[in-house]
């Protein structure tokens, strides 16, 4: 499986990034270990998580995903085979959020402890923090790099204007700069990335790792017209965004292309992202080992011109 260069100054990563949001949540520890072992065997060596995963689940406090990964690393022989990404900034409790220097210094040590490692390969600011000056955040991240706790830094959930401002602030102050952006981007959510973020990504040579690459499962084809999703995890959120005629038209096209190419809607949706300007790799999560086959297939799948035109047209932003 061929690797991909993450922007001008970033590392080589796997063409599909394994999402760690499910570890310790919808995938228990034992199954998470099996998924992680199998992913490495398939060449999917880049893993994305965050300190806040899975704070949203009843009875969870955040840090569950990092803790599972730390236990897996502790089994031996795996940490040096993985390019590990995690994030900081979303709320982890009262007074535990944002991108101040004080909080970043605290949060990185907590993540390293849970992950049972001495460094993070790619450390993301999980969300822009307008209350903290960009220079303060960048100085704190620069120190983490100089201390060896982090190897590269990235940004997530920034507007194009704020991302450009951060890149200019790094250059002006001689501080380390972001090598990567992690945006929300997929076949049913194109407009914001393509119109606002892509020009900035291309100007500064940033890598792009997309999240919600399968629209929280919608682009797998498992949701159908008229289906009751009220009891499905994330169902109400998905329904508000995607369960409409334009969304189902995209799924219909995905299914048609998948049948033609003897593939699956999931693999086609990920392969479409891999074909897009600016995109380095999509993130995708699985809750069962068998689902990894679609991720590996997506990395190999080459979409023909007719298939790309069909998907581009049906998903074009209004």
- The CA angle 90-274-45, to the nearest 5 degrees, is 65
Backbone Cα Rg of the chain: 19
185 is catalytic: no
User: Percent helix, strand, coil in the chain (nearest 5)?
Assistant: 45, 15, 40
Containing 258, the helix (H) or strand (E) segment is: helix 245-260
Reading the block at residue 266, the tokens are 């999931």
Long-range contacts of 308-311 (CB under 8 A, 24+ apart): 308/272, 308/275, 310/253, 310/256, 310/257, 311/187, 311/250, 311/253, 311/254, 311/257, 311/268, 311/272
Q: Classify residue 195 as exposed, middle or buried by CB count within 10 Å of its CB (0-12, 13-18, 19+).
A: exposed
Of 53, 123, 211, 242, which is the active-site residue?
Answer: 53
Q: Classify residue 82 as exposed, middle or buried by CB count within 10 Å of its CB (0-12, 13-18, 19+).
A: buried
Reading the block at residue 38, the tokens are 């199998």
Residues 159, 164, 165, 170: is their CA dihedral positive or negative? Answer: positive
- As a whole number of angstroms, the distance between CA 126 and CA 88 comes to 5
Instruction: For helices 134-147 and 160-173, give the axis angle rounded to 10 degrees.
Output: 60
Indicate which residues carry an active-site annotation: 53
């Amino acid at each position: 499986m061929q690797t991909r260069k993450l922007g001008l100054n970033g590392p080589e990563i796997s063409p599909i990034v394994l999402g760690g949001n499910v570890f310790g949540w919808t995938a228990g520890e034992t199954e998470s270990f099996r998924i992680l072992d199998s992913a490495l065997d398939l060449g999917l060596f880049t893993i994305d998580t965050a300190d806040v995963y899975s704070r949203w689940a009843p009875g969870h406090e955040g840090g569950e995903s990092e803790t599972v990964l730390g236990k897996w690393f502790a089994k031996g022989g795996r940490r040096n085979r993985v390019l590990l990404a995690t994030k900081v900034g979303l709320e982890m409790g009262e007074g535990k959020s944002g991108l101040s220097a004080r909080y970043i210094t605290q949060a990185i040590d907590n993540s390293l402890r849970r992950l049972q490692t001495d460094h993070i390969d790619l450390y993301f600011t999980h969300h822009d923090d307008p209350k903290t000056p960009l220079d303060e955040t960048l100085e704190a991240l620069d120190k983490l790099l100089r201390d060896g706790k982090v190897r590269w830094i990235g940004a997530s959930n920034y507007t194009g204007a704020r991302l450009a401002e951060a890149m200019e602030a790094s250059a002006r102050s001689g501080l380390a700069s972001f090598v990567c952006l992690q945006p929300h981007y997929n076949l049913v959510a194109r407009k914001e990335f393509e119109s606002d973020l892509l020009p900035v990504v291309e100007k500064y040579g940033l890598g792009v790792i997309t999240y919600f690459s399968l629209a929280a499962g919608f682009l797998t084809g498992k949701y159908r017209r008229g289906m009751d999703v009220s009891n499905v995890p994330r169902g109400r959120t998905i329904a508000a965004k995607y369960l409409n005629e334009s969304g189902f038209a995209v799924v219909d096209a995905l299914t048609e292309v998948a049948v033609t190419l003897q593939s699956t809607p999931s693999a086609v949706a990920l392969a479409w992202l891999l074909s897009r300007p600016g995109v380095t790799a999509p993130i995708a999560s699985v809750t069962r080992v068998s689902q990894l086959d679609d991720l590996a297939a997506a990395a190999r799948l080459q979409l023909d011109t007719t298939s790309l035109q069909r998907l581009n047209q049906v998903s074009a932003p209004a």
